[in-house]
Every structure is written in structure tokens, then in C-alpha cells.
Amino acid sequence: MVQQGQVFKLKTKGADSKPLWAYRYRLQGRGSGRRQVGGFASQAEAQRALRKTLDRLRPGGRTATLTLIEFVEEYLQAHPGQSVTVSKLRWLLGKATAALGDVRLLDLTPEQVCTWRMTIPDGHRYEATQALRQVLNRAVAWELLDYNPAKRGVPNPLRRSLEKRPFDSWTKIEAVAAHLSPVHGPMIVFAAATGLRPAELFALEHRDLDFKEGAVYVRRAYANARMWHVKTRRSMRGVPLQGMALQALRRLPANPNTPLVFPNTRGGYIDLRNFRQRQWRPALLKAGIEPLRQPYDLRHTYATFALRAGLSAFALSRYMGTSLAMIDLHYGHLASDGREHAVALLDALAREKLVDAGWTPPPAPANPHRDKRAPQHPGPNHTVVDVRWTPLTQLAADDPTKRGAEQAKREAL
């Protein structure tokens, strides 16, 4: 039986030096624990919060009996994401419901979340905690909870990023390509030259290649036996086709029976798992590549080569379809390799400024006779033109008669 609750003034004062207010209530009579929530700026605000809480807890209010596993299932059924997204969320949230599923939402505490979190392997501890936070955020938004117990006092630092293992040189990439099929070999060279994700690479079609503009456009992705259009504006992008990418495309055998640039043997989409186990790994072993890499490391190779070549992090983020923050997180340490390049660019700019002074025409010598007879009325407007950037056609279009008259006048003086 839920009590009516009580609102009272705290000794603690707020930023305006006025006392704060709180409310408290019992769920099961005198023998049960008394819950207290404080920090309200006024008595009326505390009373409104108390009424909202009691309305949820009284008979007919589902929070009184709603457990975590029930709410997780309700959340997943209403999730608007794609099936692959919902499946991953269900897998991550299953780790929380296995330990805390029978706990009522109202009884879930930060201490319980902290204890559960430390039982999760480090490889996906961060993601599992974030998934639980996401669900409980919805409970707060639906006014089933006053605060998120997976956030308050529950640290969730990012896990350490796995070591990136880009290829050291194009020679090693070509060595792996030599042990792959006529389609898979050029494909991995193209991947290292464009930075496309494996899913984007497998969905690439000939209509996405623009040789006139020298770019490949990323519009679709394929993974887990499903093809979809990229969902963010950042992911839909154009990537410049460098020489290595063009060479890889020229090495592909002609296949008019499929629109795909890199099809499987039947003309369909390549399955990443099959490719990784049946083609990629054996090719690495035959080429003597140590340590073994993943297909995704071709994307890291593109980022590494681009930064060392002096490409800006901003341009790289656009070409790779990711944010500047992610570029800095994963590849920021490579920026130190570009310091010498940055200094060279700045020094070249400084030298250009100094040399530019030599191109500035010297001032014409003063003519005292002409200055004395110069008319006082305002003459025609004269526009200063940098001769270096004036087109020759414009100079040729000038009136030769006017130029001759002006020259004769100057000689007479």
C-alpha cells in the first residue's frame, strides 16, 4: 500500500541561498524502506514530482510491477531501427537482463549496475553499458523513472582501441593481391586506395564510378545478406580515384552479366565471412604477412597513407565518411608524421610572399613638367589591374588608337 508521501524542507540551500525541498514515501507501509528524492527549488515543484511518482506506483500504475526485462522487450518492439540494429541491441541488452532482468525498474540502483558492469568482458563492456543507458533514458523520458540509474555514479569509459595494423607499403598489398582471384586481387588494392568499408566495397556498382570527374561515389552497402542505402549524409560521399585505384579497375576482367564492380563467382554479392576465411587469410599466409591483418585494415592503410602524404584531417574525414573526432581518435598519432610537411608548406608560403615583392612593378619616375600642367578637374576612373593575372585577350582588345595618342602626348612633353 503506497502512502500519500510527504514534502519537507531541506537544510541544504541552492545557488540563490534559498532552502531546497524534497519528498519521501513508503511502498509497503511502516516496515518498508522510505524513498527520498530532493533538490527541488520550491515546495510546489516537490509536490508535483511527488504526485507524479505516486500516480505511477499506485494500483493501475505499471511502474509498481514493471521489471527491466519487460521494459527492454517493450523498448525493442517499438525501436524504429533496422533489423540488424535491433538484433545487436537485443544481444547487448541480453547481458543486462540475464543478471538484472527480474529487478523492478523502480528498484534498480546505480550500485547494481556498477556490479553488473564489472562482470562484462572488457571487449564489449562499454557497448553493453551504453545500450542499458539508452533503454533507461527512454524510461526517464516516459516518466517511469526519475533518473537514469545506469548514468548516475556509473562511469563508462571508452575501451582501449584495438591496435591498428595498416600495411606498410603498396608492395605488401600487391603481394597479397597476387595470391587472390582476378577479381579479389584488384579489389583489395582498390580498397586500400579509396578507404571504402568492406560493406561499401561489396555493394559498389559500375554506375558509381565517374571517370570524367575522377571519383567513386558511395551510395550503398552490403552485409549480412542485406543491401541498404547508406543512412547518413556523411556516409554518402565521393572519393577521389588515385592512380592505384584506376590501375586496379583496369585489371578487372570484363563481366557484362552483373552491375557489381567486384562480384563473386556467380555474379552476386561477396560475403565478408566467406571471403575472410577462404580467400583473405590464406593469401596473407602465402604472402608471408605478419602479423595477420583484417580486411578492414585496408581502410586503415588508406588513412595512414593519406595523412603521411599531407592530406588534411578534414578532407580525410569527408573521403572516409566519418567525423573529425573519429579521425583524431584512431589516427591522430599519425599527424605527428606530417609536421615536417606542414612546416615545409608554411615556409614555402613565406618564401612566396618574399618573392612576390620582386613581381611588384617599380613606381614610375615623377615628371615635374607634367605635374605642373596637370588639370585640377577629376579625370576618368582608373582601375588598378595586376598585370600578372590580366588575360592577354583583354590587352589585345584595348583600342590601339588611344594607346598611340597617349604615347605621342607623353613624347611631346
The grid cell for 393 is 585577350
Boundary residue ending a domain (141, 161, 193): 141
By percentage, how much of the chain surpasses pLDDT 70?
Answer: 76
| Residue 159 CB coordination number (10 Å) | 13
Domain-located, residue 409? no
- Specify whether 114 is located in the same domain as 81: yes
Q: Which one, of 208, 201, 92, 199, lies nearest residue 150 by Cα?
A: 92
Encode pLDDT of 264-308 as tens digits. 999 999 999 999 999 999 999 999 999 999 999 999 999 999 988
| Residue 129 CB coordination number (10 Å) | 24
Domain-located, residue 374? no
Give this prediction's pTM. Answer: 0.59
Q: How confident is the model at residue 366 (pLDDT cuts 50, 70, 90)?
A: low
- Specify whether 45 is located in the same domain as 178: no
Domain-located, residue 322? yes
State the residue range of the domain holding 18: 6-58
Q: What is the DSSP track for 311-328?
A: --HHHHHHHHTS-HHHHH
- Specify whether 307 is located in the same domain as 176: yes
Q: Regarding beta strands 209-210 and 226-229, do their DSSP bridges make them parallel or antiparallel, or are they unpaired?
A: unpaired
- Specify whether 77 is located in the same domain as 186: no
- Specify whether 220 is located in the same domain as 319: yes
Q: How confident is the model at residue 364 (pLDDT cuts 50, 70, 90)?
A: low
- Specify whether 40 is located in the same domain as 72: no
List the beta strands (DSSP E) in 6-61.
Answer: 6-13, 19-26, 34-40
In the three-class reduction of DSSP (H, G, I as helix; E, B as strand; rest coil), residue 209 is classed as strand
- Specify whether 252 is located in the same domain as 193: yes
Domains in the chain: how many in total?
A: 3
- Specify whether 52 is located in the same domain as 201: no
Q: Check: CB of residue 32 under 8 Å from CB of residue 10.
A: no
Domain-located, residue 162? no
| Residue 247 CB coordination number (10 Å) | 13
By percentage, how much of the chain surpasses pLDDT 90?
Answer: 50
The pLDDT value given to residue 334: 61
- Specify whether 225 is located in the same domain as 314: yes
- Specify whether 262 is located in the same domain as 299: yes
Q: How confident is the model at residue 34 (pLDDT cuts 50, 70, 90)?
A: confident
Boundary residue ending a domain (337, 367, 390): 337
Encode pLDDT of 312-356 as tens digits. 888 999 999 988 888 887 776 665 445 666 677 778 778 776 555
- Specify whether 74 is located in the same domain as 36: no
Boundary residue ending a domain (126, 141, 156): 141
Classify burial at 50, counting beta carbons within 10 Å of its beta carbon; exposed 0-12, middle 13-18, buried 19 or more. Answer: buried
Domain-located, residue 362? no
Q: Which amino acid is at 111?
A: E
Tell me the pLDDT of the chain averaged across its residues: 82
- Give the H or E element holding residue 113: helix 110-117
- Specify whether 75 is located in the same domain as 194: no
Grid cell 571519383 is found at 215
